[in-house]
Homo-oligomer: A and B are copies of this chain.
């Protein structure tokens, strides 16, 4: 019978039909002559009623089963239906699980959650994180493709780091030394200058930083954007605002169940306030007597500023602009009126930096000088630098750290929860 019948999804069951359901045993309860098996598939949970010869059916929780039965209407379940079981078949048995995965809240520590990913993912709230992450990444790509951007793929094995050498993972590449890319920065600029004009990439980047905080990952997904023929870096910030708005709207539209589960209200993003880094530092000083590092904000400063911006502008986001030259990479465009600062920005979200962006230098001579000022040997970056000898248009871009975005979006307690298999200083497994 089951061979001829197609599997039905739990969310699609309607009364009176006979269905084949497949999924995991969430729970089983025995009450004398009747048993209740809660079956979970990717779309929901179905109460399956076992009577007569099926009453008392023995099965370990989290086993995989196939249930054949008749859907009947009921007011006793959330779905408004339950299934009267005609046949149960064990597809794959489970051993006793090491922790309870079917409580309302998953009560395990972070380490166990990550060590037992297959099991922690079974929890619908944990699964919801990755459904939403998938949608955010897709919406990012979709918006940009609709706006004439080309999706690019650039190498992660590189001969030079994009930031000038620090914090890179080294590897043996045949007879050569190579590194894992910290960012696709050089490559996206080269493809913009190659005539594609507008490009984006969704790919991992690598930072060999020894940080072991709740907001750092050593491998993460960078949502990278670069576009040519901009008038100024305000255009880049406007694009990022529009992209994020679109991403949030898509999640709002397609992840209703997941947002409910995680109790997330998505704010409407209209305009994101902007503060220069000097203004931001002054606010921190005046409001919280908080001193900042020269030309920058530290993580405590970011947090306080997030609070301030929420209270003052009712915004989860704030752009911090015009960072001094010393704190930004060598390819960052200096400000025309005040060349000691740059046309650069960070985007803070709920008090955490999730983006760096800027207009980039497109003039060959200016770029070479900027490399030299940073003490970098231009010869090591020849193929990148040569790009600027053959007609590079004015351009800029930004990158969003996807896991940080998800972490803050869903109010998680650690960025690692936004990565299925996070990599940090000590974690390499699973």
Chain A residues with CB under 8 Å of chain B are 3, 7, 22, 24-25, 40-42, 62-64, 91-95, 97, 115-122, 127, 130-131, 133-134, 137-138, 141, 145, 148, 150-159, 169-174, 176, 178, 180, 186-187, 190-191, 193-198, 202-204, 206, 208, 210, 218-219, 221, 229, 231, 362-363, 383-384, 386-387, 389-394, 402, 419-423, 425-426, 428-430
* Residues of the B chain whose Cβ atoms lie less than 8 Å from the Cβ of A159: 428-429
Task: From the candidates B25, B121, B362, name the one contacting A194 in the complex (CB within 8 A).
Answer: B121
Q: How long is the Cα–Cα vector from A362 to B25 in the complex, in angstroms?
A: 17
Task: From the candidates B62, B169, B430, name the one contacting A172 in the complex (CB within 8 A).
Answer: B169
* Residues of the B chain whose Cβ atoms lie less than 8 Å from the Cβ of A193: 118
In chain B, what residue has the closest Cβ to A131?
A: B150
In chain B, what residue has the closest Cβ to A217?
A: B155
* Residues of the B chain whose Cβ atoms lie less than 8 Å from the Cβ of A197: 41-42
* Residues of the B chain whose Cβ atoms lie less than 8 Å from the Cβ of A91: 393-394
In chain B, what residue has the closest Cβ to A200?
A: B134
> Could you tell me the distance in whole angstroms from the C-beta of A126 to the nearest C-beta in chain B?
8
Q: Please, could you name 15 A-B residue pairs with CB atoms under 8 Å apart, sorted by A?
A: A42-B195, A42-B196, A92-B394, A94-B391, A119-B194, A141-B141, A156-B156, A156-B204, A157-B206, A157-B428, A159-B429, A171-B172, A173-B423, A173-B428, A202-B202
Structural contact, A391 and B194, CB atoms closer than 8 A = no
Q: A121-B191, A153-B419, A202-B202 are in contact. Are A94 and B7 (CB under 8 A)?
A: no
In chain B, what residue has the closest Cβ to A6?
A: B231
> Could you tell me the distance in whole angstroms from the C-beta of A324 to the nearest C-beta in chain B?
26
In chain B, what residue has the closest Cβ to A115?
A: B383
Structural contact, A92 and B362, CB atoms closer than 8 A = yes
Q: How long is the Cα–Cα vector from A293 to B231 in the complex, in angstroms?
A: 61
Structural contact, B430 and A384, CB atoms closer than 8 A = yes
Q: How long is the Cα–Cα vector from A176 to B203 in the complex, in angstroms?
A: 24
> Could you tell me the distance in whole angstroms from the C-beta of A21 to the nearest C-beta in chain B?
10
Task: From the candidates B174, B196, B229, name the one contacting A7 in the complex (CB within 8 A).
Answer: B229
* Residues of the B chain whose Cβ atoms lie less than 8 Å from the Cβ of A389: 94-95
* Residues of the B chain whose Cβ atoms lie less than 8 Å from the Cβ of A169: 157, 171-173
* Residues of the B chain whose Cβ atoms lie less than 8 Å from the Cβ of A7: 229
* Residues of the B chain whose Cβ atoms lie less than 8 Å from the Cβ of A173: 169, 423, 428
CB-CB nearest 5 A-B residue pairs: A121-B194, A383-B430, A171-B171, A94-B391, A134-B151
Structural contact, A423 and B157, CB atoms closer than 8 A = yes
Which one of A92, A115, A145, A363 has the highest number of Cβ atoms from chain B below 10 Å of its Cβ?
A92
Task: From the candidates B64, B170, B180, B391, name the one contacting A93 in the complex (CB within 8 A).
Answer: B391
> Could you tell me the distance in whole angstroms from the C-beta of A22 to the nearest C-beta in chain B?
5
Task: From the candidates B40, B138, B384, name the one contacting A151 in the complex (CB within 8 A).
Answer: B138
* Residues of the B chain whose Cβ atoms lie less than 8 Å from the Cβ of A63: 391
Q: A92-B362, A204-B203 are in contact. Are A64 and B172 (CB under 8 A)?
A: no
Task: From the candidates B22, B158, B219, B362, name the one contacting A428 in the complex (CB within 8 A).
Answer: B158
New A-B pairs, 17, CB < 8 Å, besides A115-B383, A157-B428, A170-B172: A24-B391, A92-B391, A92-B392, A118-B387, A121-B191, A121-B196, A130-B150, A137-B153, A153-B420, A154-B420, A155-B423, A157-B219, A171-B180, A174-B208, A187-B420, A187-B421, A191-B420
In chain B, what residue has the closest Cβ to A94?
A: B391
